[in-house]
Amino acid sequence: MTKTYAQPDVLVSADWVEQHKNDANLRLVEVDVDTSAYEQGHIAGAIAWNWQSQLCDNIRRDLLTKPAFEELMADSGITPDTTVILYGDNNNWFACYAFWQMKLYGHKDARIMNGGRKLWLAQNRPLTKDVPTCPPSSYAAQQPDTSIRALREEVMQAAPEGKTNLVDVRSPDEYSGKVIAPPGMAETAQRGGHIPTAINVPWAQAVSEDGTFKEPAALQQLYEGKGLSPYHKTIAYCRIGERSAHTWFVLKYLLGHANVKNYDGSWTEWGNLVNAPIIKGDKPI
Structural contact between residues 162 and 170, judged by C-beta atoms closer than 8 angstroms: no
What number of residues does the chain have?
285
Q: Which helix (H) or strand (E) holds 45?
A: none
- CB burial of residue 54 (10 Å; 0-12, 13-18, 19+): middle
Provide the pairing of β-strand 164-168 with 233-237.
parallel
Query: Distance (Å, rounded) from C-alpha 233 to C-alpha 252?
Result: 11
Tell me if residue 56 is catalytic.
no
Instruction: Find the catalytic residue in 56, 96, 134, 238.
Output: 238
| Phi, psi at 125, each rounded to 5° | -80, 155
| Phi, psi at 242, each rounded to 5° | -85, -40
Query: Distance (Å, rounded) from C-alpha 93 to C-alpha 95?
Result: 6
Query: Distance (Å, rounded) from C-alpha 218 to C-alpha 152?
Result: 31
Known catalytic residues?
238
